[in-house]
Every structure is written in C-alpha cells, then in structure tokens.
Amino acid sequence: MSADSSMSGLGAAWPALAFDRLGRFVFRYRNYLVPVVLVGVVALTPRAAAGGDRLDAWLDVLGFLVAMLGQALRVTVIGYAYIRRGGVNKQLAAPKLVCEGFYAHSRNPMYVGNFLLFVGLMLIYNSPWGYALILPAVALALLALVRAEERYLTERFGSEYTDYCRRVNRFLPNPRGLRATMRSMHFDWRRSLRKDYGTAFAWLSGAFVLMAWGRVVRFGWIGAAPEVRCLAVSYVPVVLAYGVVRWLKKSRRLQSPD
C-alpha cells in the first residue's frame, strides 16, 4: 500500500475515530455533563420569551408534558428490561445483549427518553439560544455516545448484534407488537423507582430552576418574588418524595422480589 493511500485511509477514518472518542468521553463523564449543561443554559443563553405571559405558561405546560413523556419512556424501559449502562470503571461494558422488552422495538429507548427530557426543559426555559445551540449539542453528544456503544457492541457480539440492528430501529420505536411484548413480561416497579428516581429528581429540579430564573430575568427579583415563592412551595413535595424514595432504597425496601 502506498503512503498516499495510507494517508487517505487515515483521513477517511479520522472523523469516525473522533466521533467515537467523543462518545466515550460523554459516556465517561455523563453524570457531570448534565448539570454543566443546565448551568450553561442559565449562564450563557439569554432568555427571550416571545408572546407574553400566556404563551410562556403554555410552553411551561408543554415542556412538562414532553419531559414527562421522556420520563415515562425511561420508567417503562427500566421496568420491563433493564440494561446496565454504568459500564466498568466508567468504560463501555455489556455482560449480555438485551433484545427483549422495549429493546425489541428500539435499540436506544433510554436515549430517546433522555432527549425528550432536554427538549422539555428547553421548552420551559424558552430561549432561542437554547433551541439553536443546546438541543443540537445534546443531540450530537447522544449520537456520538450511541455510535461508540454500537462500535463496542459490534466488536463484543458480532453477528448477533448486527442481526439485531437489522431488525430494530436505532431510535424511533416500532409500535408493532408492543402490546404483546408488554403482556409477555412482568413490570418491575421497584426496579424502575430504585433506578430512576434520581433522574426524575434531577430534571424536575432543573425545570423549577429554569422557571424561576426565567421569571427573574423577565420581571426582576422584586417583580418575580411572588411567583418564585409559589414555585419554591411547589418544589417542596418533590424534595420530600426524593428523600422518601432514597430512604426506601438505602434501607433495601425497594429490592425486587425476584
């Protein structure tokens, strides 16, 4: 092989390698990146709510509904068939290839749920910069993470995984046969609560912070004080629920019977 062809091959492979490295970076530091993104949204993206208070309120409602859809998807996936995404020493790892439950209809349903959470939060914040910069950046990071996982799983499971990829969409869930899938499996609500209460608390906390900060930006500290107090009171049950579930988990009262 000539030097020119070697360099050409390296040049063609470089974007894929860079994308794979980005995905592994996101996987390794994903627990820290989410709060960094939310802080960046507040600090770096000026909020401009167009249309007045009524539109702002409707966008809050729509944002919560979209985020709740993402949360419901995560809960359903974890309850019917759970994949350990933590890896080993913050590196990609998979003891087995999970193809049942919701994973028989989408290869990455959890990441679809995660993206819906971010879409909901951006609707609540209603910043043009959030729409133009944050959502595309989140989508790129999730895609890089998925591509890195796909490369690992292809190397780990070979034809078993490539056959699975041919049968099942990467993201968009295929509803065909979904009801039969759910009927054939047991929903483990304890596992869903145990595994995902932290995610629910995180996005709900982010939603309250974004709503409060949006009102401060728009009306000032004094003008926003009444609404911020109402939001703070509404947030109290979220904190209490988090504390109760965390106590149940630590006291092993949420262990699955099977």
**Does 144 have pLDDT greater than 50?**
yes
pTM of the model: 0.84
Comparing 255 with 241, the larger pLDDT belongs to 241
CA distance 232 to 228: 6
| Distance of alpha carbon 241 from alpha carbon 244, whole angstroms | 5
On whether residue 186 sits in a domain, the answer given is yes
In a domain, 137, yes or no: yes
Domain assignment present for 129? yes
2 located within any domain: no
Residue at 12 is within a domain: no
Rounded mean pLDDT of 3-30? 61
How many residues appear in the chain? 258
Residue 184 CA from chain centroid, whole number: 27
CA dist 35 and 43 (Å) reads 12
pLDDT at 101: 87
Domain that holds residue 179: 20-250
Are 122 and 116 in contact by the 8 Å Cβ rule? The answer is no
Question: Beta-strand (E) ranges in 37-154?
Answer: none
| Structural domain contains residue 68 | yes
Residues paired with residue 88 on neighbouring β-strands, in sequence order: 91
- Cβ neighbors of 109 (< 8 A, separation 6 or more) are 73, 77, 102, 103, 173
- Residue 245 confidence (pLDDT) above 70: yes
pLDDT number for residue 128: 82
Query: Taking 90 as the threshold, does the pLDDT of residue 25 lie above it?
Result: no
Half-sphere exposure of 97 (CA within 13 A, CB side): 19
Has residue 10 been placed in a domain?
no
As a whole number of angstroms, the distance between CA 164 and CA 98 comes to 10
What tokens were used for 210? 């974004």
User: How many domains in the chain?
Assistant: 1
Q: What is the pLDDT of residues 75-131, one digit of tens each?
A: 999 998 776 655 555 567 677 888 888 899 999 999 999 999 999 999 998 888 888
Identify the pLDDT of residue 15: 67
Mean pLDDT score across all residues of the chain: 83
Asked if residues 185 and 81 have their Cβ atoms less than 8 Å apart, the reply is yes
Average pLDDT of span 237-246: 96
In a domain, 5, yes or no: no
